[in-house]
Structure 1
Amino acid sequence: MPNFALVTTLFVGVNLDFFIVLLVLLQKYKFKDTLLGYELGMLIILMVSALAGQFIQSIVPDWSIGFLGLVPIFFGIKGEGDADEEMHAKSKIGILSVMLMYVVSCGADNIAAYLPVLATMQTHAVFITAIYFVILTFISISIAYFFGKLPIIKKVFNTCGETLTRLIYIAIGIFVMIDTGLISHFIH
């Protein structure tokens, strides 16, 4: 059995910064699409950490992962897109956008944090942890959803939500590039 106090602290610690991004994404996409994208992103990161983390880190230099920062910068520059998109296509875009935002903004840090903990677990404990993380992901997005319904939060997003969303996406991209050492690699 996993140490639930440890894995809960780990999950909250590495996902706390994504909470603000969730508020933005929940204003832009449906709850279901945001939930599916967040769950998929979290599971991808967990699987990479559990199955291939050591291998990827030994082959790919940390700084090269920084190129993934271009994805949220692209979303920040591109913006909302055409408002006449079909709802089905928008749903797929929402799920994919949330998943990519989570993987890009949290991927390297979460893998680095998850890897040492998951490496010490037996296979069945990793599966239990994955199920537990799915539950924690649902709880955290539900909390973000209810926070997003507060009148003050809704007013901020109605007034400057598009600009705020773009700035957050661009900031996440820049943070990823700095955090992974991509920018310092090119400076040196």
Structure 2
Amino acid sequence: MFNLSLVTTIFFGLNLDFFIILLFLIQKYKFKDTFLGYELGMSVIFIISAVAGQTIQNFIPEWTIGILGLIPIYVGIKGESEETERKSNSHKDAITVMLIYAAGCGADNLAVYIPLLSKMTVPAIMLTLLYFMVLVGVTMLLALLVQRIPIIKKFLEQYSEKISRIVYILIGIFVMYDNGLIQKLISLF
């Protein structure tokens, strides 16, 4: 069964934190690359959730999802020079955005989507996926409009590179902690 208000609330609730990151990603990458990466990331997480249902929880320990936290940490540490940005590769940029989305939102989204989608019919799952893809477009347009507000634009132009690197590292650490990877590693010693 497709419940419009429920899936809308779930989408925006799970993607609210990523909206802030989008403001920085739009500054760093082309709009189309950010949009494509966001769409791909959301779709991959959604499809994995739909296919996995409840079975993923029986076979994969939650702490292993924390390994995805290494992706935003790497991006935050590596950064990009001005020259690298000018020569950026669209496919690489879209994949980077996709991986940042998957690492930052993947575990939470999986935890919510798996039980939600396991109770839906296949047509309802397909309708939900299409609806989420539309909501990604709406979110991207909102982020584009917000980042054009003069005071926000000036702030992002001045500080986006430094702040985004810090945010990436913090997201990575949070993903590793939230999924129990850090606790698992500490318990090994």
Distance 2:23 2:62 in 1: 29
* Map of 1:72 onto structure 2: 72
Change (3 A) 1:76 1:84: closer
* Map of 1:4 onto structure 2: 4
Distance 2:96 2:141 in 1: 18
| Alpha-carbon displacement from aligned partner over 1:122-148 (angstroms, at most 9, x marks no partner) | 000000000000001100111011101
**Residue identity matched to 1:139:** V
Distance 1:35 1:162 in 2: 19
Q: TM-score, with normalisation over the residues of structure 1?
A: 0.94
Q: TM-score, with normalisation over the residues of structure 2?
A: 0.94
* Map of 1:136 onto structure 2: 135
Q: Percent identity?
A: 51
1:102 paired with 2:91, answer: no
**Residue identity matched to 2:126:** F
Q: What are the equivalent positions in structure 2 for 1:33-48 lying under 5 Å apart? A: 33-48=33-48
Three-state SS of the structure 2 residue aligned to 1:16 is: helix
Q: Do 1:53 and 1:111's aligned partners in 2 also have CA atoms closer than 8 Å?
A: no
Three-state SS of the structure 2 residue aligned to 1:83 is: helix
CA drift at 1:85: 6.2
Instruction: Point out where structure 1 has 5 or more consecutive residues left out of the alignment.
Output: none
Instruction: Point out where structure 2 has 5 or more consecutive residues left out of the alignment.
Output: none
Moved over 4 A (4+): 84-87
Change (3 A) 1:86 1:149: closer
Provide the aligned C-alpha RMSD in A: 1.4
CA drift at 1:21: 0.4
Task: Give the number of equivalent residue pairs.
Answer: 187
